[in-house]
Homo-oligomer: A and B are copies of this chain.
Amino acid sequence: MSMQGFAKLPEPPYYAVIFSSQRTAGDQGYGATAQRMAELAQQQPGFLGMESTRGVDGFGITVAYFTDEASIAAWKANVEHRAAQRMGHTTWYEHFELRIAKVERAHGRPAR
């Protein structure tokens, strides 16, 4: 399920944190924390928006957008987020990959 559809973003440049993950079986508190992290990220200075989805096979991609790398570093260091990261490592994810990228160009087409 996607959590909130499309992010409304300014013109590039900005930064993307691309997080792909394979969930372990069972919820184990994941759903509530994922929702809390989505809310908490909104409060992070420099946070621009996020898009997230996961297939029925448990493979998911979340892309969070930030104005700059300093904001990404601050979000990574957030104490509540760090606790969630630890749960991700130990319990929620079989495998994850994180990529930090600078968005240089963007275009889209809204609903026809």
Contacts and interface: CB of A to CB of B under 8 A. Distances in A.
B20 A6 contact: yes
Contacts of A100: 103-106
A20 to B, nearest CB: 5
A32 interface: no
Given A2-B55, A18-B63, A98-B108, 18 more contacts: A1-B56, A6-B97, A16-B16, A16-B99, A18-B18, A53-B53, A53-B55, A53-B59, A53-B61, A63-B63, A93-B109, A95-B111, A96-B108, A97-B108, A98-B106, A98-B107, A101-B101, A102-B104
22 contacts: A5-B22, A6-B20, A6-B22, A6-B95, A16-B18, A18-B101, A18-B103, A20-B51, A22-B111, A52-B61, A53-B59, A61-B61, A63-B63, A89-B109, A95-B108, A95-B111, A96-B108, A97-B106, A98-B108, A100-B104, A100-B106, A102-B102
